[in-house]
Structure 1
Amino acid sequence: MSKAGAKLKSMRKLVEKITHTTKLKTNIPAGMAMAGPPLGPMLGQRAINIGNFCKDFNEKTKDMKEGVPLPCRISVNSDRTYDLQIHTPPATFFIKQAAGIQRGAMSPGKEISGKITIKHLYEIAVIKMQDPPNALLTLEQMVNMLVGIARTCGVQIVRDLDPNEYKEFLAERKVTVELQRLELQEKREAKMLRTG
């Protein structure tokens, strides 16, 4: 057999190994997968049995706190089966939980929405390193990435946190958040009046 023939044969083997799958990336609340929008239509477009998927997902996440957003990677095979990979909650979720806040700053860099300690940061880094996309990162790289995420949320990283002082800070912050919410609502209503 000639070199070209042998090369062609090995290339055929490579071509046969290719699998055509479609991938879906989405966040699904733990234990709350339902057939309705937005999840139902996404799965329906890929010909996945929505009822079975929801049952499977809810079963896999039954031990987690209900409603926690979980990034999912779903690979759909040509025979309508799927591979479901569930990651840990997003870093922003953990940072906001550690800071005890519901939402981040509207203008990061100009306002502080919350505070977390360095210990919190390292604990979150250890959890986030379990996700396959972060598997090759060192702890230092993961922590640096989390520092950037905390900054975009307006969360300040401190060495020590006095519980009483922080309680006062959160009370003041609650007033600020409420004022921002009212301001946003007024802008929305003014826009509705202009377009209506």
Structure 2
Amino acid sequence: MAPKKPLAVIKIELEAGNAAMVDLGKALGPHGVATMEVKRRYDADTARHAGEIIPAIVSVYDDRSWDLRTTTPPTAFLIKQVIRRDGAARPGHQSVATITARDLEAIARRKLPDLNTTNIQAAIRQIEGTARSMGVRVTR
């Protein structure tokens, strides 16, 4: 049996445990994937993170089969959860909140599997850069 050929790799960001069919249909419909099956699997895989935005990668193959892999929430989303507001309208000119080093470390530990490093200090620096670009001050 010949290996499956990948036709498309689709990246989607949906609400955990409650994926919107409209968004799934827009992303997966053109590829002929059974969106209801993807929704059920996504909702089951992400149910424990309800209320968060969980990205997923759907690989679609030539026989219309598919694989689903979820990742950690976006860094900006996790920072917004900690500061309980949106980032600055003019980052670098405005500061909207302050985040502690402990909060940065907690976010970095959660994001570590999806970052391009295995070093926790490097991961913290990446998270810190995202926070600064959102207009969030970091206290040590």
So what's the TM-score if we normalise by structure 1?
Answer: 0.66
CA distance in 1 between partners of 2:89 and 2:125 (Å): 22
Residue 17 of structure 1 deviates from its aligned partner by 6.1
Q: 5 Å matches for 1:29-48?
A: 29-36=15-22, 38-48=23-33
Matched, 1:99 2:83: yes
CA distance in 2 between partners of 1:109 and 1:55 (Å): 42
CA distance in 1 between partners of 2:71 and 2:46 (Å): 11
The gaps in structure 1 that reach 5 residues or longer are 1-15, 160-196
Say if 2:12 and 2:27, in contact at 8 Å, map to a contact too: no
* Percent pairwise identity: 29
Q: Supply the AA of the counterpart residue of 1:96.
A: K
Matched, 1:155 2:140: no
Residue 99 of structure 2 is matched in structure 1 by 116
Residue 10 of structure 2 is matched in structure 1 by 24
Residue 105 of structure 1 deviates from its aligned partner by 0.1
Residue 44 of structure 2 is matched in structure 1 by 59
DSSP-derived class of the 1:83 partner: strand
Q: 1:18 to 1:35 in 2, by over 3 A?
A: closer
Q: Supply the AA of the counterpart residue of 2:13.
A: N
Say if 1:100 and 1:114, in contact at 8 Å, map to a contact too: no
DSSP-derived class of the 1:73 partner: strand
The gaps in structure 2 that reach 5 residues or longer are none
DSSP-derived class of the 2:72 partner: coil
Of Structure 1 and Structure 2, which has the larger fraction of its residues in helix?
Answer: 1
Residue 137 of structure 1 deviates from its aligned partner by 3.5
Write out the 4+ residue segments of structure 1 that deviate beyond 2 Å after TM superposition.
16-21
Residue 138 of structure 1 is matched in structure 2 by 119
Residue 24 of structure 1 deviates from its aligned partner by 0.5
* Alignment coverage as a number of residue pairs: 139
Q: What are the superposed Cα offsets for residues 83-114 of structure 1, whole Å, 9 maximum, x if unpaired?
A: 1111111111111111222x100000111111
Say if 2:58 and 2:66, in contact at 8 Å, map to a contact too: yes
Residue 78 of structure 1 deviates from its aligned partner by 1.2
Q: Supply the AA of the counterpart residue of 1:64.
A: H
Say if 1:23 and 1:73, in contact at 8 Å, map to a contact too: yes
Of Structure 1 and Structure 2, which has the larger fraction of its residues in strand?
Answer: 2
Q: 1:119 to 1:35 in 2, by over 3 A?
A: same
CA distance in 2 between partners of 1:18 and 1:83 (Å): 12
- Compute the RMSD of aligned alpha carbons: 1.7
Which one has more relative contact order, counting CA pairs under 8 Å at least 6 apart? 2
DSSP-derived class of the 2:125 partner: helix
Q: What are the superposed Cα offsets for residues 32-84 of structure 1, whole Å, 9 maximum, x if unpaired?
A: 21322x32121111111011111111111122223x11111111111111111
